[in-house]
């Protein structure tokens, strides 16, 4: 490029920084040229020899815009002393003379061929990366494993099934009620990850007990790469301080948002905090959510006569959220009324009458038998009697269900939905899930000290925790459980031991005693500690070298915490509620526990503690096996139980016999009735294993690493080998900040192996769904990188100078995000290879083969070639667009069919329920009809978009 090419007043564009807009030559001095960029209000000086600039010359028929915003169509062009004069019209017959000096500086060369003509083209590698990105995105979006690949979790069938079944729904509202230890938090995390990854949800609120806030924060980040922001009292106090600052002190802080819930996409807060602040409640309601999660939802009290303030608040928040996930104890542990209260939050239209719900439960066993026969024999193989029952239950809707793609599953779903807890309740039992350890109860009878007998506190409820009503120094000295604890811990050393007792005061006293008097390393863990203090205690306990041997927990303080790396549990006292016993054991007895769990149970002879131990052991078998019927049994034998703990020992044999009998009866009833019906819907093994196989296929392939290696090369990221399956990624000399989101300045150690990621939390788990990988893909598709490229190729069969155009098309469908049309109409990349005569050579020269044959052209040579081949390129672009157009209609028809298949059943469901439930409003049905109509309209406007071109010149 020599000096004579530049003339003051000419318009040029920088192909290294397109954001500058259209530049104008303002000075030429020696071997340097200076351009002003009015759009960016900047001036740049370049060495003429290697200036990254391209001359902008508009062709006849192209539209131009002047600096005052007027638009014209070019009719003729004249070169006057090196500066172009355009003769253009604005739709009238009069031609205007427009010097290029007067052209607007705001230009957008978004079309691939426009970028090529403007000199904004890339090397071959960038085009290959763009093509690969589109192909991978389309493949992944069509995969049944989408949204489930990126979590740092084991592939457990029941968790994968629930996550897929729930997360693929529009605005899911479900109750996750797996038994203790089956991983409800992971299930919720998988659902959140899927919904956020697929853009089905953008705004999420998680509400948990205060003790679980930090655990949720860490778990969501570590396992799912979800960065939640905690909203608490400190956040509001800081906001009040900011609002009080003057403009001079800090203008930005003074303008802080008034509603912190609106400023966060992923918000995490405690229910305790919300209940303490009416302002926070109002802000949370006003913010609006795509999805809300409530953990430990069984603590929300409700009855037909009254609801607790906490329940009413969650009910209001649930109404302000499209989707809702409730994590709760199993239904039989909380009672029918409490269980109904949870369901009422999820679907008030379906669950509006408690008595009707009670009556409905009586039908479960009958429905279960029919459902089982449908699954075994198929819909056509069932008896006339069963067919009549289906007609009675489903009415005229049965005909539409029989015509569904999978009639058996459609009929079963409708039965579960109309006559059970339907698709809103997921509950897996330990009996159905393999892989749990054995439990080994180790009781120790100890003499009751006179200290307790004299005070009469060895009987009644007080007898369970008599130490709480006497002097601390006295019970520490006289209660034989203390000396037994010290001796037992010494004998178990160095094994980790979790000690649980009912009250924080007991936990603190024991920890102080063990630490200072017995010389045993221990840590206390109770509700009076701050979240940070609790986390420190947990970390101190988990440290295998210098950590505590024993963690002394209170009942409330340990709720929701998991310590499966330990396998010794000491129950310093016993709770009155069987559910609490199951929760205590569940801290260790979880999926992932590899050892038999030793449950040490010291109790005082001849007291309430001995009665309670025998009731749990002989009446419920609650130590050796998971017990989900304990609360129900307790309700049935409450009188006998109370008499026994009050000292009427003669009542104990009858209590144990009645409890054992009732527990067995309830277990059989649940197995044949509600449990079986719910479990049909909670895990279909064949579906779960197919999903896991699909995930493993994605992981076993080296595609994600190969893709990222290519991307790192193009984007200037250096890659160093770390170890087997692991690399270190660091920004290199050519790296441009912001090109790769989630890339720390000092680099990132990554592993491509799930197993290694589970063992090494210090390594980032690279998958197609890691934010760094999705960030690279987003960077490629949203930028001009690889949109236009020029290459050379030598083929004996083609004469030198022959031109080919490789084009990449994708489907473009502008629509509101809420419609989530990408579910039905993916990008569907279409690759075409054409020559100047319009021949389609795509099959003759596939993309991979063509890549091997192409080589880069030096930029200076390429810049000289482009103006010469512009007419042929424009012709080939037209040919490619004509060949691409017929591919759109089949995609559009398929998407329309899927949309109708999703919205149609929901509309029919609401219409069917409205006939028996006046609480269903017409506007609820109208909403889905409007959504369907809007989706159909948007899909009818879908078009193909040219996303990239590579022009190949034969040498």
Q: How far apart are the first and last CA of the chain?
A: 23
Residue 182 labelled as part of a binding site: yes
Q: Which of 316, 309, 323, 239 is nearest to 272 (CA)?
A: 309
Residue 184 labelled as part of a binding site: yes
Give the 3-state DSSP-derived string for 673-715, with helices as H, strands as E and coil as C: CHHHHHHHHHCCHHHHHHHHHHHHHHHHCCHHHHHHHHHHHHH
Residue 140 labelled as part of a binding site: no
Q: What is the dihedral of CA 585, 586, 591, 597, to 10 degrees?
A: -10
- C-beta atoms surrounding 677 within 10 Å: 27
557 vs 211: CA distance, rounded Å:
7
By CB atoms closer than 10 A (0-12, 13-18, 19+), residue 450 is exposed
Give me the DSSP letters along 723-781: ETTEEEEEE-TT--TTSSTT--TT-EEEES-HHHHHH-TTSEE--TTSHHHHHHHHHHH
Is residue 735 within 8 Å of 129, Cβ to Cβ? no
Q: Give the angle 414-420-421 at the CA atoms, nearest 5°.
A: 100
Q: CA neighbours within 13 Å on the CB side: how many for 904?
A: 12
Question: Per-residue b/e over 801-824, b at no fewer than 16 CB within 10 Å?
Answer: eebbbbbbbbbebebeeebbbbbb
Give me the DSSP letters along 89-137: ESSSS--EEEEGGGB-S-----SHHHHHHTT--B-HHHHHHHHHHHHHH
Q: Sort strands 289-294 and 321-327 into parallel, antiparallel or unpaired.
A: parallel
Q: Give the angle 780-784-787 at the CA atoms, nearest 5°.
A: 90
Q: Sort strands 71-80 and 83-89 into parallel, antiparallel or unpaired.
A: antiparallel
Give me the count of residues in the chain.
Answer: 955
Q: Which of 705, 734, 742 is nearest to 717 (CA)?
A: 734
CA gyration radius for the chain?
35
80 vs 66: CA distance, rounded Å:
19
Residue 178 labelled as part of a binding site: yes
Residue 183 labelled as part of a binding site: yes
Residue 557 labelled as part of a binding site: no
Percent helix, strand and coil across the chain, each to the nearest 5? 50, 20, 35
Residue 179 labelled as part of a binding site: yes
Q: Binding site, residues? A: 178-185
**Annotation: binding site for ATP:** 178-185
């Amino acid at each position: 490029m020599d000096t004579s090419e530049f003339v003051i007043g000419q318009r040029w564009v920088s192909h290294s920084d397109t954001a500058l807009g259209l530049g104008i030559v303002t000075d030429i001095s020696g071997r340097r040229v200076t351009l002003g960029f009015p759009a960016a209000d900047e001036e740049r000086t370049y060495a003429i020899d290697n200036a990254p600039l391209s001359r902008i010359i508009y062709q006849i028929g192209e539209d131009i815009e002047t600096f005052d915003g007027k638009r014209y169509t070019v009719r003729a062009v004249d070169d006057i002393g090196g500066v172009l004069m355009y003769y253009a019209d604005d739709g009238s017959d009069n031609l205007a003379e427009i010097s290029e000096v007067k052209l607007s500086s705001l230009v957008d060369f978004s079309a691939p061929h426009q970028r090529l003509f403007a000199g904004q083209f890339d090397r071959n590698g960038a085009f290959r990366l763009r093509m690969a990105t589109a192909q991978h995105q389309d493949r992944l979006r069509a995969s049944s494993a989408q949204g489930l690949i990126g979590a740092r979790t084991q592939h457990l069938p029941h968790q994968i099934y629930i996550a897929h079944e729930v997360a693929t729904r529009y605005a899911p509202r479900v109750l996750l009620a797996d038994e203790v230890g089956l991983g409800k938090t992971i299930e919720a995390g998988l659902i959140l990850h899927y919904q956020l990854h697929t853009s089905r949800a953008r705004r999420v609120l998680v509400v948990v007990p205060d003790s679980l806030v930090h655990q949720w924060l860490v778990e969501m980040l570590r396992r799912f790469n979800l960065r939640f922001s905690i909203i608490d009292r400190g956040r509001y106090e800081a906001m009040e301080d900011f609002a009080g600052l003057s403009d001079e002190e800090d203008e930005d802080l003074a303008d802080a948002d008034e509603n912190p819930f609106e400023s966060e996409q992923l918000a995490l807060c405690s229910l305790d905090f919300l209940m303490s602040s009416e302002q926070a409640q109002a802000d949370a309601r006003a913010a609006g959510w795509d999805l809300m999660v409530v953990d430990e939802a069984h603590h929300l009290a409700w009855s037909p006569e009254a609801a607790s303030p906490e329940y009413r608040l969650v009910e209001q928040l649930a109404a302000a959220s499209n989707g809702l996930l409730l994590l709760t104890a199993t239904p039989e542990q909380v009672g029918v009324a409490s269980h109904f209260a949870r369901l009422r939050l999820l679907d008030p239209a379906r669950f509006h009458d408690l008595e009707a719900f009670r009556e409905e439960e009586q039908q479960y066993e009958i429905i279960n038998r029919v459902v089982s026969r449908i699954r075994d024999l198929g819909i056509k193989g069932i008896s006339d009697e069963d067919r009549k029952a289906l007609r009675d239950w489903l009415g005229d809707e049965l005909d539409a269900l029989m015509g569904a793609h999978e009639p058996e599953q459609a009929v079963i779903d409708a039965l579960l939905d109309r006559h059970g807890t339907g698709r809103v309740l997921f509950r897996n039992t330990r009996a159905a899930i393999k892989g749990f350890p054995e439990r080994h109860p180790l009781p120790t009878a100890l003499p009751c000290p006179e200290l307790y007998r004299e005070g009469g506190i060895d009987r009644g409820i007080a007898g369970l925790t008599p130490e709480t009503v006497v002097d601390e120094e006295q019970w520490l000295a006289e209660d034989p459980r203390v000396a037994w604890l010290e001796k037992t811990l010494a004998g178990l050393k160095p094994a980790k031991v979790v000690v649980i007792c009912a009250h924080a005061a007991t936990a603190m006293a024991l920890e102080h005693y063990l630490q200072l008097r017995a010389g045993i390393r221990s840590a206390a863990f109770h509700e009076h500690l701050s979240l940070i203090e609790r986390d420190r205690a947990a970390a101190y306990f988990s440290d295998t070298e210098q950590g505590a041997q024993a963690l002394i927990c209170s009942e409330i303080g340990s709720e929701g915490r998991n310590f499966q790396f330990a396998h010794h549990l000491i129950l310093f006292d016993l709770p009155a509620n069987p559910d609490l016993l199951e929760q205590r054991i569940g801290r260790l007895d979880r999926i992932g526990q590899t050892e038999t769990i030793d449950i040490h149970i010291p109790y005082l002879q001849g007291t309430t503690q001995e009665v309670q131990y025998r009731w749990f052991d002989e009446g419920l078998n609650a130590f050796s096996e998971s017990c989900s019927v304990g609360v129900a049994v307790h309700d049935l034998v409450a009188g006998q139980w109370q008499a026994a703990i009050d000292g009427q020992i003669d009542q104990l044999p009858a209590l144990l016999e009645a409890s054992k009998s009732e527990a067995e009866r309830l277990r059989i009833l649940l197995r044949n009735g509600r449990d079986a019906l719910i479990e049909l819907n909670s895990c279909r093994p064949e579906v779960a294993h197919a999903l896991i196989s699909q995930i493993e296929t994605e992981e076993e392939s080296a595609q994600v690493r190969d893709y990222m290696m290519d991307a790192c090369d193009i984007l200037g990221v250096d890659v160093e080998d770390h170890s087997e399956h692991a690399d270190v990624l660091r920004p290199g000399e050519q790296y441009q900040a912001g090109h790769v989101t989630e890339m720390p300045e000092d680099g990132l150690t990554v592993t491509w192996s799930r197993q290694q990621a589970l063992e090494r939390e210090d390594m980032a788990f690279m998958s197609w769904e890691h934010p760094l990988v999705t960030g690279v893909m987003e960077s490629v598709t949203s930028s001009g990188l690889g949109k236009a490229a020029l290459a050379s190729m030598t083929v004996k069969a083609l004469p030198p100078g022959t031109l080919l155009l490789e084009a990449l098309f994708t489907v473009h469908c502008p629509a509101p995000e809420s419609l989530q049309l990408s579910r039905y109409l993916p990008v569907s990349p279409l690759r075409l290879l054409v020559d100047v005569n319009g021949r389609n050579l795509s099959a003759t020269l596939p993309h991979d083969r063509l890549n091997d044959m192409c080589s880069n052209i030096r930029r200076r040579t390429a810049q000289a070639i482009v103006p010469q081949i512009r007419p042929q390129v424009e012709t080939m672009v037209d040919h490619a667009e004509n060949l691409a157009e017929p591919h759109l209609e089949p995609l559009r028809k398929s998407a329309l069919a899927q949309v109708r298949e999703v919205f149609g059943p929901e509309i029919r469901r609401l219409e069917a329920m409205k006939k028996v439930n006046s609480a269903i409003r017409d506007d609820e049905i109208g909403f889905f009809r409007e959504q369907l109509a809007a989706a159909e309209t948007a899909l009818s406007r879908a078009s193909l978009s040219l996303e990239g071109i590579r022009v190949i010149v034969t040498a």
